[in-house]
Amino acid sequence: MKTHSVKFNFIMNAILTVSSVLFPLITFPYISRVLLVAGNGKVAFATSVVSYFTMFASLGLPTYGVRACAKVRDDKEKLSQTVQELLIISGITTAITYIVFFVSLFVIPEFAAERKLLMVTALSIGLTSIGVQWLYNALEQYSYITTCALVFKVIGMALMFVLIRKPEDYVLYGFVYVVGSFGSYVMNFLRLRKFVSFKKTGSYNLRQHIKPTLRFFLLSAATSVYLNLDVVMLQFMKGDIEVGYYNAGIKVKTVLVTCVTSLGTVMLPRLSYYVQQEAEEAFRKLVAKALSFVLIVATAVSIYFTLYAKESILLLAGKDFLPAVGPMVILMPTVLLIGLSNITGIQILTPRGEEIKVVYSVTAGAVLDFVFNLILIPKFGADGAAFSTLMAEVLVLAIQGFGLHKELKGIVKEIQVWKIILGLAGATAAGYFAGALTNLGIFFTLCVSALFFFGTYGIILLMLRETFVTSTLESCLRLVKKRG
């Protein structure tokens, strides 16, 4: 099976990531103005609730499946056996999850109030189960993943503009969201036979997968708690309006985190393969590149969107969502924190089979998030929920970083931090003054300030010959020259 380079995979995933940035920029301004604050809050609540049920149905397979399949991807018989076993486990857990879900719709009053919306969004549980995205990631089929996802994103966007016309259409928007986000999983399932056989060649050994999947489930559960707990607790304690503000506040942060962690998505199967082959030097070099990428990109976007949080909210959602500026500013540092913990947890500990350490750190973060939410949400609402998440991310990174301080010490020495700091200082000054001197409306203010901020940042890093930036630019130029 042909395997593309990490660079090619990153480019493909970068295209998908850029689409994840562009589509919300196109759709959210429309949806926020049509569904208004309450409608957006209802949909955000439903998707958060369903994400918990999806977590139980998946049982850690999204991450464990990548590692398990990556290790046997060169042997079709073993790969087919592994996929069959994981699908059986997934089918059992999905069936149990749906039973519990439908019972909860009639038992929990808050769920019963939005029964139709929850039932529609719950279609994503079954689609995730049959989508076997973990297999395509393990086989590094990023060209296919990107193309298929883009097609369904376009379909979802078209359906949104055609069907969503008034605030009462929030249930219909839940369906459009499922189509755009999970519709490609149907194609994944139909395409399975291209890579694996469903012919049974021996007895199934499901037991070998139980312990590692449970470990990854604990990781997924703890992560999901503090990623979605804020929205759920806000709904129960404050209602739709506060959830709507918070959802607008985290929109930019979510997009930026997707960009920053995009490299990790394509690196996990390759790093798992290096561990299997005991290629320690290749493993270390790849992690060093990932750390440089996160530090350079995450710090820049965090600072820029802190400076222009108000303008970003006005452009994306309108003046009715101005209370979302506070949560957005508070959450911006988490872009860097999540980017770094993605490296320590998903790119270092997980490929080495030490995911239980990640579980401990994320569980600690989830507990801290829950406690802070109980204290802060009643008084500060969305701002309190945002601060709780920030503190949880700090704790997660601190625990993982402490456990890996010996390994990270040597890698960090290779990163030219002082050059990044100088670049950020110059970029901040240029971006701030460019925005302050621009009086051409919100959109043009953001365009001009972003041009000066990131343009200055890139120029300074190139002038200082920052290693990662210069090597990346040289690789791109060589690729262009070769293609030409």
Q: Render pLDDT for 104-157 as a digit per residue (tens, 0 to 9).
A: 999 988 888 889 999 999 999 999 999 888 888 888 787 888 888 889 989 999
**Residues 319-347, mean pLDDT to the nearest whole number:** 88
Q: Render pLDDT for 401-448 as a digit per residue (tens, 0 to 9).
A: 888 887 787 777 778 888 999 999 999 999 988 888 877 788 888 989
State the pLDDT confidence band at 264, using cuts at 50, 70 and 90. Answer: low
Q: Would you state the pLDDT for residue 172?
A: 93
Nearest partner of 392 among 374, 370, 415, judged by Cα: 370
How far apart, in whole angstroms, are the C-alpha atoms of residue 166 and residue 56?
34
Q: Would you state the pLDDT for residue 307?
A: 93
Mean model confidence pLDDT for the chain? 84
**Residues 80-101, mean pLDDT to the nearest whole number:** 93
The residue ranges of every structural domain in the chain are 6-195+207-415, 416-484
Answer positive or negative: Cα dihedral of 36, 42, 46, 49: positive
Residue with tokens 């199967």: 269
Residue 198 is inside which H or E element, if any?
none
Is residue 200 classed as helix, strand or coil in its secondary structure? coil
Q: Would you state the pLDDT for residue 479?
A: 58
How far apart, in whole angstroms, are the C-alpha atoms of residue 125 and residue 59?
12
The set of long-range contacts for 137-140, using a CB threshold of 8 Å and a minimum separation of 24, is: 137/66, 137/265, 137/268, 137/269, 138/65, 138/66, 138/67, 138/68, 138/69, 138/70, 138/73, 138/269, 139/1, 139/69, 139/73, 139/195, 139/269, 140/3, 140/4, 140/9, 140/266, 140/269, 140/270
Q: Render pLDDT for 281-300 as a digit per residue (tens, 0 to 9).
A: 667 777 777 888 889 989 99
Q: Would you state the pLDDT for residue 143?
A: 81
Is residue 308 classed as helix, strand or coil in its secondary structure? coil
Residue 267, pLDDT above cutoff 70: no
Please give the structure tokens belonging to residue 359. 């579980």
Q: Render pLDDT for 168-194 as a digit per residue (tens, 0 to 9).
A: 999 999 999 999 989 999 999 999 888
Please give the structure tokens belonging to residue 43. 């949909």
The whole-model pTM stands at: 0.70
Q: Would you state the pLDDT for residue 29?
A: 81
Residue 261, pLDDT above cutoff 80: no
